[in-house]
Amino acid sequence: MKRLPPLPALHTFLITAQCCNFTRAGEQLHITQGAVSRQIAGLEEHLGYALFHRQARGLSLTEQGQALYPRIEQAFDLIGEAIEHASIRRTPLQIKAPTCMLRWLLPKLLHWQTLRPDVPVELTSSMQHGVDFRREAFDAAVVYSPLPGPKRVGRHLFDEQLTPVCAPHLLDGHDAINQLSDLAQHTLLHPSRDQQDWTNWLNAAGGDVSAIRKSQYFDTLDLAMTVAAQGNGVAIGDWSLIGDDLKAGRLAMPFDFKVRTGAAYLLVCSPRSEPSAPLRELLDWLVQQTEP
């Protein structure tokens, strides 16, 4: 196969063929008119045929030049598309999630990176349970939707189901938790400053909220679960969010009873633009991770 001509010379030919003028081509390429002329002459010598008719009124493509021009134009278009495509795939997807989601979401994203290292993801956690795409430059977010109903917008991940959890060793021994009244002997760990989660669960389970004498409050679910896993109390959290801890034996459920609150976790995309193909693929994959 004949050696290909230099890529800069082919680019100079493309620009010159578009304007049929050495001077205007030089202006676009930021080189002199003489440099354009020399590059075209060198390319013609390499190819073995003329590309332009040099006329008093200007330039015109020869028959060979007319045949070559659309293919060179197509080749440079493909190069441009390849560069743009590679740049898009290297740009990390920006995802926001509330801190309570990290126990579920972070392991999933780490696994995703092993499957698709070409689609990097940057995760930002926040105490907030929502997102404002007008002010926050995220591609997508996990949001907490506290109220049920048809007005929810986004892709459903899972419904909130509250259940108490503790260290596995608290299910045995002198202070074992076997019935609701046993909770009075332990510190209740709250994943927020209010007691709403514990109150909702105890009311639904038929427990006595007033019998609870010891409580500890935390700013995040993660802190509450960490303290519970150490055996320093009984926490309450969403069954789906702590599923990996239950499977790994770091936490245990003293009661086989979960309370649906009507709230849910959803995946939402920025309305600024249509989701890219990599983002759609990631969101589809995350939804699949919630399937039994």
pLDDT tens track for 7-44:
999 999 999 999 999 999 999 999 999 999 999 999 99
Give the C-alpha separation, 21 to 73, whole Å: 17
Q: In this structure, which long-range contacts are made by residues 41-50, counting pairs with CB atoms below 8 Å and at least 24 apart in sequence?
A: 42/9, 43/5, 43/6, 43/9, 43/10, 43/12, 43/13, 46/5, 46/9, 47/5
SS3 assignment, position 264: strand
Query: What was the pLDDT predicted at 88?
Result: 58
Share of the chain above pLDDT 90, in %: 49
**Is 192 a member of any domain?**
yes
What CATH number has the domain bearing residue 177?
Answer: 3.40.190.10
Of the ranges 148-157, 202-211, 252-261, the best mean pLDDT one: 252-261
Q: What angle do CA 111, 114, 249 make, to 5 degrees?
A: 30
Q: Same structural domain for residues 134 and 279?
A: yes
For residue 58, how far is the Cα from the chain centroid? 54
Q: Same structural domain for residues 131 and 187?
A: no
* Range of the structural domain that residue 150 is part of: 93-158+263-289
**Is 189 a member of any domain?**
yes
Whether the predicted model's global pTM rises above the 0.75 cut: no
Query: What was the pLDDT predicted at 58?
Result: 82
At residue 291, does pLDDT exceed 80? no
Domain boundary among 89, 112, 128: 89
Q: Same structural domain for residues 154 and 270?
A: yes
Query: What was the pLDDT predicted at 87?
Result: 63
Domain boundary among 43, 63, 89: 89
Where does the pLDDT of residue 150 fall: very low under 50, low under 70, confident under 90, or very high at 90 and above? low
**Is 122 a member of any domain?**
yes
pLDDT tens track for 49-96:
999 998 888 899 999 999 999 999 999 999 888 877 666 556 899 999
- The b-or-e profile of 199-221 (16+ CB within 10 A means b, else e) is ebbbeebebeeeebeeeeebebb
Phi, psi of 188 (to 5 degrees): -90, 125
Phi, psi of 214 (to 5 degrees): -120, 130
Give the C-alpha separation, 239 to 248, whole Å: 14
Instruction: Domain count for the chain, please give it.
Output: 3
Q: Same structural domain for residues 20 and 143?
A: no
Q: Same structural domain for residues 42 and 117?
A: no
Question: For residue 144, what are the contacts with CB-CB under 8 A and spacing of at least 6?
Answer: 98, 100, 129, 130, 160, 263, 264, 265
Query: What was the pLDDT predicted at 97?
Result: 92
Domain boundary among 89, 122, 146: 89
Among 256, 253, 228, smallest CA distance to 243 is for 253
**Is 172 a member of any domain?**
yes
Give the C-alpha separation, 195 to 231, whole Å: 20
Give the C-alpha separation, 164 to 257, whole Å: 9
**Is 2 a member of any domain?**
no
**Is 1 a member of any domain?**
no
What is the residue-averaged pLDDT of the chain? Answer: 88
Q: Same structural domain for residues 82 and 14?
A: yes
Query: What was the pLDDT predicted at 222?
Result: 85
